Chains A and B, each alone.
Chain A
Amino acid sequence: MTERTAERTIAHAPSTPSGPANLADILERVLDKGIVIAGDIKIDLLDIELLTIRLRLFVSSVETAKKAGINWWETDPALSTRAHRDAVDEENQRLRERIAELEAAEGEERPSRRDAGWDDERRSHSWHHVKEADGR
C-alpha cells in the first residue's frame, strides 16, 4: 500500500472518480508504452498481452467482484499459474492412479483410453476465448 501513497506524488488523479490509478490504465502504459531498449533478459510480452486482454474483460469490475466475494480468476487456469499448477498436479495424480491401476491389472484386459486428454481439451478451450478477444 506504500506504492499507492508514492503514486500520488505525481499520478494523483483529481478528476478520476476511482481514486488511485486504475489497473487497466497502468497496464496499458507499462506493457505497451515506454521507451524500449534491448535488455539481456528477454520475455515475451505477447504472452502478457494476451493475459492483459483477458484481464481487461474484468478489470473494471474486479473491485466489485471482490466485494461480492467472487474470485473466479484465482482458479481460472488461463489467469493464474497457481491454478494452472493445481490443475496439472491434479491431472498427474489422476494419471498416476490410472497407471497403478493398469499395472495392477496387467495382462488381464486391454486398457481403455477413453479418458485421455480431457483436461487438455478443456484448457485449450479457455485459451481459445483469449484468442478471440485478441482478434477483436
Chain B
Amino acid sequence: MTRTVEQPGPRQPLRTETSAAVATYVFAVCRGGDPAAVAGLPGQAPGTPVRLLRFGSLEAVVQDVPAAEFDAENLRERLADRAELERCARAHHSVIAAMAGSAPTLPLPLATLYLGDERARVALRADERRFLAVLKRITGRVEWGVKVYARPEAKQEPDRSAEAAGAPGSGAPGSGAAGSGARSGRAYLERVRGARQDRERRQQAGLAAAEAVDRALRGIAVASRRLRTHETTLTGERGVQLLNAAYLVAEGDEHDVAAAVREVRRSPACRSVEVEVTGPWVPYSFVDGSFVDGGEPDARG
C-alpha cells in the first residue's frame, strides 16, 4: 500500500522530448492532383500545409503532423473522444473531398501514418500498381449512398379498439367473471396473432421495397455494395433501416440517380418506406481489394 506513495525505486524512462519530430499523415493517393485544391485546408494539424508527395507516377496527399500527438497511444486516446473523433473524421474527409474535386482520388482510411516522407514514399511505391488499377476503376465515377427506412407506422392502438369491439357481447360490466375471462383470453390471442401477421406483412413489404430501390439503382450503377445497416436504436424515430447501400455511378449521371429515386419513391411498392440519398461521395466503398470489378453487384439481400 505504502508503495503507491512516492518512491524513488526503478527509474521511469524519461520521455524524450519529441515535440520537434514530425510524422507523415497520408490522406489519399491521387493522379495529377492540384496542390492548390488542398493547400488552405487545416487537415489534421492546423498550421502545417496539406501538400502533395510524389511517388512513382502518382501523388499522395500528405501533411506533417506532430509525432508525439500521433503515436499509437495518443491517437487511440484522442480518437476515443467523441468530439475529437468527429473533428479528425471530418478533417480527413474534407481533404479527400477537396482533392477529389481536382483529380481522381483514392481515399485512405483515417490515420495512416509514416515516420517521415521517405518511409511513406517507400510504402506507397510498393503498392503503386494496385493504386493504378483502382484509380482506373473509379476515375470519372462517384459514389451515392442510399438508405431505406421502414416508415414507422402511425401509432394505431389496435389493442384498445379490439377490446372495445369485444365489449358489447359481454353484457354489463361485472357479469359472469369466468365467461368474460375466457373471451378476453381468446380475444387476446387473436390480437397477438393479428399483430404478428401485421408485423410480418410490413416486414415483407419493407424488404420488397428495399429490393425495389436496390434494383432501380443497380440499373444505373456501374457497381453496388451493401453496407452494414445501422442499429435500430440509432435510426430512432426514422424506423428500422432496411437497406444501406453504396452505388458507383458515372460522374454527371446524378440526374439519373435523382430520377431513379424519384420514380421508385412513387411506386406502390415503396409506400411503406422512406428513401434517403446522400452524395456524391468520393468512392470510399469501391477502392478496397474485396470489391470485385465487372459491374455486377457483390451482394443481394
Q: Is the CB of B159 closer than 8 A to any CB of chain A?
A: no
A27 to B100, CA, bound (A): 18
Q: Is the CB of A41 closer than 8 A to any CB of chain B?
A: yes
Known: A11-B279, A27-B89, A73-B82. A33 touches B287 (CB 8 A): yes
Cβ contacts under 8 Å, A36 to chain B: 108-109, 288
Q: Looking across the interface, which residue of chain A has its beta carbon closest to that of B225? A: A33
Cβ contacts under 8 Å, A56 to chain B: 230-231, 233-234
A47 to B130, CA, bound (A): 28
Cross-interface CB contact of B281 among A27, A29, A43, A47, cutoff 8 Å:
A29
Cross-interface CB contact of B108 among A23, A37, A59, cutoff 8 Å:
A37
- With both chains docked as a complex, state the minimum distance between the C-beta of B101 and any C-beta of chain A, in angstroms: 4
- With both chains docked as a complex, state the minimum distance between the C-beta of A119 and any C-beta of chain B, in angstroms: 16
Cross-interface CB contact of A44 among B42, B76, B110, cutoff 8 Å:
B76
Give chain B interface residues in 49-85, CB to chain A under 8 Å: 70-72, 75-83, 85
B1/A99 in contact, CB under 8 A: yes
Cross-interface CB contact of A29 among B112, B130, B234, B285, cutoff 8 Å:
B285
Cross-interface CB contact of A6 among B76, B94, B107, B227, cutoff 8 Å:
B94
Q: Is the CB of B106 closer than 8 A to any CB of chain A?
A: yes
A9 to B281, CA, bound (A): 11
Cβ contacts under 8 Å, B230 to chain A: 24, 56
Known: A40-B114, A41-B70. A10 touches B282 (CB 8 A): yes
B80/A81 in contact, CB under 8 A: yes
Q: Is the CB of B148 closer than 8 A to any CB of chain A?
A: no
Cross-interface CB contact of B227 among A28, A57, A136, cutoff 8 Å:
A28
Give chain A interface residues in 31-75, CB to chain B under 8 Å: 31-45, 47-48, 51, 53, 55-61, 73-74
Q: Is the CB of B250 closer than 8 A to any CB of chain A?
A: no
A34 to B107, CA, bound (A): 5
B93/A11 in contact, CB under 8 A: yes
A21/B109 in contact, CB under 8 A: no
Cross-interface CB contact of A41 among B72, B106, B142, B280, cutoff 8 Å:
B72
A29 to B76, CA, bound (A): 18
Q: Looking across the interface, which residue of chain B has its beta carbon closest to that of A15? A: B277
A14 to B278, CA, bound (A): 8
Give chain B interface residues in 267-301, CB to chain A under 8 Å: 276-282, 284-285, 287-288
- With both chains docked as a complex, state the minimum distance between the C-beta of B288 and any C-beta of chain A, in angstroms: 6
Q: Looking across the interface, which residue of chain B has its beta carbon closest to that of A41? A: B113
B94/A3 in contact, CB under 8 A: yes
B81/A39 in contact, CB under 8 A: no
Interface 0/1 of A71-90, CB less than 8 Å to B: 00110000111100000000
CB within 8 Å of A: which residues of B? 1, 4-5, 23, 26, 29, 40-42, 70-72, 75-83, 85-86, 89-95, 97-98, 100-101, 106-115, 119, 123-124, 127, 130-131, 134, 142, 145, 227-228, 230-231, 233-236, 238, 254, 258, 261, 276-282, 284-285, 287-288
CB within 8 Å of B: which residues of A? 2-4, 6-7, 9-17, 21-45, 47-48, 51, 53, 55-61, 73-74, 79-82, 99, 102, 133, 136
